[in-house]
Chains A and B, each alone.
Chain A
């Protein structure tokens, strides 16, 4: 990538023609004020601040009067503490210290994928069958280490929360009216959409059908190379695993009628008009590339995209270009050669400002490019904070910056 010319200091002077296309503003206050919106899903590649965005949005919505539950995935300890929760777990717990004058509330939880999976099994089967599944070695591995299980269980947990909210509302109890979902840390933002389908295709797939098929009968005709296949499988994996898989899939089949059907149901829920997606990124090439993939995919699947939240954007209140600051620092150094470091601090401050402006210029160029390529996607830019998010007040501040028009 070629860095943008350093002479163009501020955003207003940056870019001359096409690249100037300003993205529409993503107004998160309108979003959280819309009672039709019941589920907000925050997606993005790893390390872009998804969890912080989810938490800040949840806090802001709660203080605006929504009854919110936020489902986080593995938040930093400090973020959990900033929600006043020493230990987040699989059960939603009330966050205290919020301004509830608008009638809102906030519960927070952290996804425990193994426990969620266990609960699905227990809920849908008899005690002895459940016990058999929970003890199955293949199940143990699947529920704790398969990379797609986390996404699958996040969807599952989302479904449960949604069902609970509907049940509470129907019974006239206080009920959540907004679920904010953070998505698992993945190499790709698309994993969240793909993993449940992948898992269900593995478990409902042709290979499993064959494993389950009786040794004799019509299905046998399908297996031209099947004996070879199964003997190769045995050599690679060993007999025991194959047996475990067979037992596991048969047991699951009996209790909840297949994984695919479940994944399909969740997918349908996500495509409804009550769900919106927020794509989270930073103003970095990799993160924006992932964001583009995700935006395109949502468009393709006709899923509702609210817009792009860009975290940790750099900028300066001082309208002095990188080049000019660097030149000034050089002049001061040269002058100081005679006068014994009188302006050392100024020179260093100017150099740091020059670096900051270079970063800001590069980010602006990348965001403008994104806006030009995808002019319909609203953006909001959240400036970088001087320090980590450690308190509720910090989340409130992030929320305010997110809602503020840049």
Chain B
């Protein structure tokens, strides 16, 4: 295999930009020719099972979500910080009864929700474990892991493991693993994709996320522009349409209908022009930009393959 191979794809984006959908599309795009891809969510939303139309993913179950037309499989995992902590305690401390006492006293809840930074370490720790499995060549190993990560507002903090654990235990297995996770996130195997709409706020958040990630040492690979309305016309033509300077003449339609259509088209044209302005803003980030077209039929498990195809064409995916 030539060139660097990304085994961990982290997908973030502002709320409402379709980050989960794009993460799922990316997982499908990576799952070609017998490859196995794990798609993880970390926010207890059950967004993956909703999207793929399957029963909720419970506990540490890694279930097949779909087989792709390209002959691979996408598996899903819903990571829960509390479960991850219980698992650690069991693995490293063999707590048994005392482990249950931790739950009873509310310690698990306390540690995972309030201890600074620990929650993120536990979540990324599970992802790390899934990525690492392939190195050991286990039967459950994956060719790639796609993480549906927290939104852009939190992504810098989420991936900055080093900072997160600076306040917690200086020794012990969690600390050791945090260091390994940190190394993975900064390595060439990891790449971050930021999903955005071509609207003002999401673009601003994307710019801010790129800036905050620069400090973390994790590489941003691409910015994915979602729900784009492409147009076959030149900006000059669109500007005329948007200005209402173009009359339409659909054969057989009366003037009122033509005027209504022209007015509607003008709004659409100005939206496309605005999207172009946002696109230009994003190109100043100096990162590869990828576009996923708006799907008027809405998103379901089948339309993910369409998104996967668009991503494959533009990303030159190393798995292809």
Q: Do A and B bind each other?
A: yes
Q: Assess A232 versus B113: contact at CB under 8 Å? Given A206-B106, A346-B249.
A: no
* Chain A 12-26 interface 0/1 with B at a Cβ cutoff of 8 Å (1 = within): 000000000000000
Q: Assess A145 versus B271: contact at CB under 8 Å? Given A185-B15, A358-B297.
A: no
Of chain B, the residue at the smallest CB distance from A322 is B296
How long is the Cα–Cα vector from A233 to B241 in the complex, in angstroms?
66
Structural contact, B262 and A349, CB atoms closer than 8 A:
yes
Structural contact, B169 and A349, CB atoms closer than 8 A:
no
Structural contact, B114 and A146, CB atoms closer than 8 A:
yes
When distances are taken between beta carbons in the complex, the residues of chain B under 8 Å from A345 are 233, 237, 241, 246, 248, 265
Q: Which of A198, A233, A362, A388 contacts B113 (CB 8 A)?
A: A198
- Residues facing B in A344-361 (CB within 8 A) are 344-346, 348-350, 352-356, 358-359
- Is B243 in the interface zone, CB < 8 Å from A? no
Number of B interface residues in the complex (CB < 8 A): 71
When distances are taken between beta carbons in the complex, the residues of chain A under 8 Å from B174 are 236
Most A CB within 10 A of own CB, among B16, B105, B271: B105
When distances are taken between beta carbons in the complex, the residues of chain B under 8 Å from A78 are 200-201
When distances are taken between beta carbons in the complex, the residues of chain A under 8 Å from B62 are none
* Chain A 209-229 interface 0/1 with B at a Cβ cutoff of 8 Å (1 = within): 010000000000000111011
Q: Assess A328 versus B102: contact at CB under 8 Å? Given A47-B16, A76-B200.
A: no
CB distance from B64 to the nearest CB of A (A): 21
Of chain A, the residue at the smallest CB distance from B202 is A47
Q: Which of A141, A142, A210, A318 contacts B260 (CB 8 A)?
A: A318
* Chain B 224-268 interface 0/1 with A at a Cβ cutoff of 8 Å (1 = within): 000001011100010001000010111100000100111111011
- Is A46 in the interface zone, CB < 8 Å from B? yes
Structural contact, B43 and A224, CB atoms closer than 8 A:
no
Q: What residues of chain B have their CB less than 8 Å away from a CB belonging to chain A?
A: 14-17, 43-45, 47, 50, 89, 93, 95, 97-98, 100-102, 104-107, 109-111, 113-118, 151, 153, 157, 167-170, 172, 174, 199-201, 204, 229, 231-233, 237, 241, 246, 248-251, 257, 260-265, 267-268, 270-271, 274, 294, 296-298, 300
Q: What residues of chain A have their CB less than 8 Å away from a CB belonging to chain B?
A: 1, 3, 45-48, 76-78, 137-138, 141-142, 145-148, 185, 187-188, 198, 201-202, 205-208, 210, 224-226, 228-229, 232-238, 240-241, 285-286, 289, 316-318, 320, 328, 332, 343-346, 348-350, 352-356, 358-359, 362, 386-388
The 20 sampled A-B contact pairs (Cβ below 8 Å) are A1-B300, A47-B16, A76-B200, A141-B117, A206-B106, A207-B105, A229-B102, A232-B102, A235-B169, A241-B116, A285-B50, A316-B264, A328-B250, A345-B241, A348-B231, A348-B232, A349-B265, A356-B296, A358-B296, A386-B271
- Beyond A229-B102, A316-B260, A320-B257, 10 extra complex contacts between A and B, CB < 8 Å: A46-B151, A137-B167, A142-B116, A145-B116, A224-B101, A238-B169, A286-B47, A286-B50, A349-B261, A356-B296
